C-alpha cells in the first residue's frame, strides 16, 4: 500500500518543540542500544540474562562486581555511563516539553492506548498533524512506516518499495509504545509471543506497533477511547 501524504507545513511556533521530541526519540534509541549491548555482554561472558530494569539501575562501579576481566569491565562501564547520561538528558527534555505543551482536543485520548504516555502522545500529535489528511487507516499506518514494502509474486520476493517513504519518527514512537505495552499488558504480550513463534522478535514488535498505530488512528479520528477487543481481538 502506498502511503498518503498531503502537503503539510508545521506551524513555525511548534517546530522547535517537535524537533526536541525528535531528539528525545534519538536518545531513547541510543539508550536502548546500550542496554542491549550490556545485556549481551552479560549473556556472552556469564551465560545468564539480566533484565532491562536491572541494567538501568547499575552504576559504573557495579561492572567491577559483575565481571572479572579488566577489558570486559571497561566495556561494561562504557555502556553504563552512556545509559546514565542518556537517562538524565531524556528526563530533562521530557520536563521541558511538558512545561510548555499540552495535548490538543482529539489527541488527549491517545493516552488510553497501551504504551502511550504524555510524551509519546505529544510526539504522535506533532508528527501526525491533522489526522483528517489521512482518509483511511491504511494510509496512516503506511505513513508511519508500519506496513511491509516487499513485492511478492508466486511466493517469491521480487523487490521492495521505498521503505524511506513516510515518517520515521512516528515509526519509532509506535515501536517505543509497543515495547512498553509488551511488559504491562498481558493480552499484548500474548499476541507478541504468538507472532514470535512464527517469525523473529523484530518483526513481532513491529506487528504490535502496527496494531497500536491502527488503533491510534481511530482514537484520534473518532475521538474515542482505546478498545482492546477491536485492536487485539
Instruction: State the Cα–Cα distance between residues 117 and 155, nearest whole angstrom.
Output: 40
Report pTM: 0.82
Task: Give the mean model confidence (pLDDT) for residues 135-164.
Answer: 68
Please tell me the predicted confidence (pLDDT) of residue 231.
86
Please tell me the predicted confidence (pLDDT) of residue 148.
62
Structure confidence at residue 154 as a pLDDT band (50, 70, 90):
very low
Residue 165: C-alpha distances to residues 9, 19, 90, 177 (Å):
17, 19, 27, 21
pLDDT tens digits for 112-132?
Answer: 999 999 999 999 999 998 899
- Mean pLDDT, the chain, rounded, equals 88
Residue 202: C-alpha distances to residues 142, 178, 198, 209, 227 (Å):
18, 11, 12, 11, 25
Structure confidence at residue 163 as a pLDDT band (50, 70, 90):
low
In the chain, % of residues over pLDDT 70: 88
Residue 45: C-alpha distances to residues 48, 51, 65, 133, 219 (Å):
8, 16, 14, 51, 46
pLDDT for 57 beyond 70: yes
Amino acid at each position: 500500500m502506498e502511503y498518503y501524504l498531503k502537503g503539510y507545513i508545521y506551524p513555525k511556533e511548534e517546530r522547535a518543540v517537535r524537533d526536541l521530541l525528535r531528539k528525545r526519540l534519538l536518545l531513547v534509541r541510543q539508550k536502548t542500544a546500550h542496554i542491549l549491548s550490556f545485556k549481551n555482554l552479560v549473556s556472552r561472558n556469564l551465560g545468564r540474562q539480566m533484565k532491562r530494569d536491572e541494567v538501568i539501575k547499575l552504576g559504573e562501579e557495579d561492572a567491577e562486581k559483575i565481571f572479572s576481566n579488566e577489558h570486559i569491565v571497561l566495556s561494561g562501564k562504557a555502556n553504563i555511563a552512556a545509559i546514565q547520561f542518556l537517562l538524565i538528558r531524556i528526563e530533562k527534555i521530557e520536563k521541558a516539553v511538558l512545561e510548555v505543551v499540552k495535548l490538543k482536543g482529539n489527541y488527549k485520548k491517545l493516552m488510553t492506548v497501551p504504551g502511550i504516555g504524555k510524551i509519546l502522545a505529544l510526539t504522535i500529535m506533532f508528527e501526525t498533524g491533522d489526522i483528517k489528511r489521512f482518509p483511511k487507516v491504511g494510509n496512516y499506518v503506511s505513513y508511519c512506516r508500519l506496513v511491509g514494502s516487499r513485492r511478492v509474486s508466486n511466493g517469491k520476493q521480487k523487490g521492495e518499495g521505498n521503505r524511506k517513504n513516510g515518517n520515521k519518527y512516528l515509526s519509532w514512537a509506535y515501536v517505543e509504545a509497543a515495547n512498553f505495552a509488551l511488559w504491562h499488558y498481558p493480552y499484548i504480550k500474548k499476541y507478541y509471543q504468538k507472532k514470535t513463534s512464527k517469525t523473529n522478535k523484530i518483526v513481532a514488535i513491529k506487528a504490535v506497533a502496527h496494531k497500536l498505530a491502527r488503533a491510534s488512528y481511530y482514537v484520534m479520528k473518532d475521538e474515542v477511547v482505546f478498545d482492546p477487543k477491536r485492536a487485539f481481538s
